[in-house]
Amino acid sequence: MKGAVWVAIAATIGNFLQGWDNATIAGAIIYIKEDLDLGTTVEGLVVAMSLIGATVITTCSGAISDWVGRRPMLILSSLLYFISGLVMLWSPNVYVLCIARLLDGFGIGLAVTLVPIYISETAPSEIRGLLNTLPQFTGSGGMFLSYCMIFGMSLLASPSWRLMLGVLSIPSILYFVLTVFYLPESPRWLVSKGKMLEAKQVLQKLRGIEDVSGEMALLVEGLGIGGETSIEEYIIGPADEFADGHDPDSDKDRIKLYGPEQGLSWVAKPVPGQSSLALVSRHGSMANQNVPLMDPLVTLFGSVHEKLPETGSMRSMLFPNFGSMFSTADPHGKEERWDEESLQREGEGYVSEAAGGDSDDNLHSPLISRQATSMDKDAAHGSALNMRRHSSLMQGAGEQGGATGIGGGWQLAWKWSEREGEDGKKEGGFKRIYLHEEDVSGSRRGSIVSLPGADVPPVGEYVQAAALVSQPALYSKELQDQHPVGPAMVHPSQTASKGPIWAALSEPGVKRALFVGIGIQMLQQFSGINGVLYYTPQILEDAGVEVLLSSMGLSSNSASFLISAFTTLLMLPCIGVGMRLMDTSGRRTLLLTTIPVLIVTLVVLVIFEMLTISTVVNAIISTACVIIYFCCFVMAYGPVPNILCSEIFPTRVRGLCIAICALVYWICDIIVTYTLPVMLSAFGLAGIFGIYAVVCVISWVFVFLKVPETKGMPLEVITEFFSVGARQVAAAKNE
């Protein structure tokens, strides 16, 4: 995972520059105002230009990144940072300074919008939350270092605001070099454009392994938007155990899997008589809600995390060994394999890499390419699924994951069944399956699936698995009409869109995800962080901190900068704690735990703003509340909204959707920032913090009822859950 970690660190330099700029302008504006003799309105405009630029660029950044890629937009961001820094260093007047600040805002908007997307699309699911908290950490680190620089320059006889702002160009050079020469393109974006070979090479670099076949197949499956998905239930065990006393006709309903040892086969057997809606409803995930108004998606996601297999047990060791890649060819027939290393489609140019192909046109959909239509009928007899001999699983049974291990305890498989059509010709049914092992040794309450009648032996080589079953993302009815032997799949490049797919926004799963993303971004901005930042200097002054520093010979400006640096420094270890917990406790749990602390601190601030015990006591308590508020906010509510928004949308529209959420974020930021003085005069500090406390209460309720837990789940599985959940909720309402 080192490759993904270093790539994420390099990408978050854009957020470092954002934090650096935010702190720099906060300090430099004092000297700009004096030097250029600015009025209050123009002073506010200079500060706000970067905010305006970020808002404007966000309106199109997501859609453009879906079109041209994530990496080019990050390169553009670094260039904008560099150019704006040079222009600010030169600025002869306020007009040029405003233009430079606008360019700076463009760079900020691109970085804030696209870095979370980029990290989510390159990071392994197991550490995606940790890596996506890095932007918060580097942003706060940039603020701290910038305040230290400004503090040092403020000690000079004549501080230069141009130099303060122009220093931005130096770290932006490093950002530019890394984006151009080190950062790869997002493998998910590459797959969406049909650039399969490049995507595979990037994945190999990021994961540090050669066999990335399973994740490549997962990325292809992630190209689908919506679709009819069902939740099914399987018992997985040795093939010979299922065969005893079993009707041979039901073999077509099984998925045969092969373990790492040659000759050892496993079968995934569907549990009959369980419709997907009834199955989930039975456990309170859809129709029978124990909590009024709770979104069924929340319990649907939660059921995945509720009961995980015990690590190290026989049960948990068996499941990773089931999957590799499968072929619909008869193992006793032709030796054709369902992967890019051996597939050669005569007449269409689909030659393997081993045969010397080195372009994307030579690669069909990875590992799931359709078999040649000229294959003999005898070779198509049966539907046994054969394991690739090249899988890394062959090298050791104890390895975690494998060719079809896609992270978070999930595995990817396909099933192929044949039936006789009306015209007497055989027709194939091709389904993609996301399998998730479940531990049935303990309580089954709240699980997605459980075995009726407890007919599985408590000890033995059996595994219970939930399954999300759907049509493959690149399923083609036109190819299916040609009666190919095996699954009919088109190359991703044939489905790549040249622009944003606006129609996809009306898909139920995408709409539900947009509701969650927009809602949490709005509530985060209205939860009080800007107000507390605005109030911090005043309460620290009341606490006597500034007086103490002034007595040490520091000017009021220098003392203010040092206080700001200290406050920012306190955030860093708290963000570190959040990074550690993001993939263990989870995003939802962190929010539900820290938001009540925000509420308490705001209520205490209201009380001690209205009730004065003594100046010293009030100042101490207020200072403690502000510090606790900052620490808890940056631990969860600061980074989690961006993390969630980068996880819950399908690949093809991820940039577009996150841009919509980011646009809402910037608009709300503008509203909060520029209504704060008006609210302060109308309601006073007590009234403002009271409003913020109410918003935090609403935030907690929203998270509890509407925000699912996404930790450790592959992005493609998350979007599949949103799709199936939204459709089943709609179906339940119509009944």
Q: Which of 203-212, 431-440, 606-615 has the lowest mean pLDDT?
A: 431-440
Q: What is the pTM of this model?
A: 0.81
Same domain, 72 and 168: yes
Q: Which of 315-329, 566-580, 688-702 has the lowest mean pLDDT?
A: 315-329
| Per-residue model confidence as pLDDT tens digits over 536-569 | 766 776 667 767 777 777 887 888 888 888 888 9
Element (H, E) at 88: helix 70-90
**Could you tell me the sign of the dihedral formed by the alpha carbons of 587, 593, 595, 601, in that order?**
negative
| Per-residue model confidence as pLDDT tens digits over 139-168 | 999 999 999 999 999 999 889 999 999 999
For 100, phi then psi, to 5°, come to: -65, -40
Is 116 part of any domain? yes
For 431, phi then psi, to 5°, come to: -130, 140
Q: Which of 313-317, 423-427, 539-543, 574-578 has the lowest mean pLDDT?
A: 313-317
Contact by Cβ (8 Å): 81, 17:
yes
State the CATH number of the domain containing residue 45. 1.20.1250.20
Same domain, 260 and 153: no
Show which of 164, 183, 202 is a domain's final residue. Answer: 183
| Inter-axis angle of helices 169-181 and 2-11, nearest 10 | 140
Same domain, 644 and 712: yes
Is 576 part of any domain? yes
Which of 524-559 are b and which e, b meaning 16 or more Cβ less than 10 Å from the residue's Cβ?
A: bbbbbbbbbbbbbbebbbbbebbeebeeeebeebbb
> Does pLDDT of 602 surpass 70?
yes
**Token couple for 591:** 């929010």
- Give residue 204's pLDDT: 92
Same domain, 78 and 148: yes
For 193, half-sphere exposure in the C-beta direction (CA atoms, 13 angstrom radius) is 18
Same domain, 56 and 124: yes
Mean pLDDT calculated for residue range 80-87: 96
Mean pLDDT calculated for residue range 260-265: 45
Is 492 part of any domain? no
Q: Mean pLDDT highest for which of 143-157, 241-255, 365-379, 413-427?
A: 143-157
**Would you place residue 480 in the very low, low, confident or very high pLDDT band (cuts 50, 70, 90)?**
low
Is 538 part of any domain? yes
What residue ranges in 197-339 does DSSP mark as E strands?
230-238, 255-258, 265-270
**Could you tell me the sign of the dihedral formed by the alpha carbons of 646, 652, 655, 657, in that order?**
negative
- Give residue 414's pLDDT: 72
> Does pLDDT of 8 surpass 80?
yes
Which of 670-701 are b and which e, b meaning 16 or more Cβ less than 10 Å from the residue's Cβ?
A: bebbeebeeeeeeeebeebbbbbbebbbebbe
Show which of 183, 198, 217 is a domain's final residue. Answer: 183
- Give residue 153's pLDDT: 93
**Residue 103 and residue 562: Cα distance in Å, rounded?**
29
For 679, half-sphere exposure in the C-beta direction (CA atoms, 13 angstrom radius) is 19
> Does pLDDT of 319 surpass 80?
no
- Give residue 548's pLDDT: 74
Same domain, 466 and 518: no
For 245-276, give the secondary structure using H, E and C.
CCCHHHHHHCEEEECCCCCCEEEEEECCCCCH
**Would you place residue 477 in the very low, low, confident or very high pLDDT band (cuts 50, 70, 90)?**
low
Q: Which has the higher per-residue pLDDT, 485 or 641? A: 641
Same domain, 25 and 151: yes
**Residue 499 and residue 502: Cα distance in Å, rounded?**
9
Q: Which residue, among 161, 131, 155, has the nearest Cα to 27 in the 3D structure?
A: 161
Indicate the number of domains in the chain: 3
For strands 405-407 and 265-270, give the pairing.
unpaired
Same domain, 4 and 129: yes
Cα 722 to chain centroid distance, Å, stands at: 14
**Residue 550 and residue 566: Cα distance in Å, rounded?**
16
Mean pLDDT calculated for residue range 654-660: 92
**Residue 164 and residue 499: Cα distance in Å, rounded?**
40
| Per-residue model confidence as pLDDT tens digits over 332-386 | 333 333 333 333 332 233 333 333 344 554 333 333 333 333 333 333 333 333 3
- Helix, strand or coil for residue 646? coil
Same domain, 75 and 32: yes
| Per-residue model confidence as pLDDT tens digits over 92-136 | 999 999 999 999 999 999 999 999 999 999 999 989 999 999 999
Mean pLDDT, the chain, integer:
75
Which range marks the domain in which residue 669 is found? 504-734
Is 219 part of any domain? no
Which of 567-592 are b and which e, b meaning 16 or more Cβ less than 10 Å from the residue's Cβ?
A: bbbebbebbeebbebbbebbbbbbbb
Same domain, 531 and 675: yes
Same domain, 121 and 35: yes
**Token couple for 211:** 């066999």
Is 391 part of any domain? no
Q: Which has the higher per-residue pLDDT, 732 or 294? A: 294
Same domain, 137 and 234: no
Mean pLDDT calculated for residue range 11-28: 94
> Does pLDDT of 388 surpass 60?
no
Mean pLDDT calculated for residue range 701-709: 94
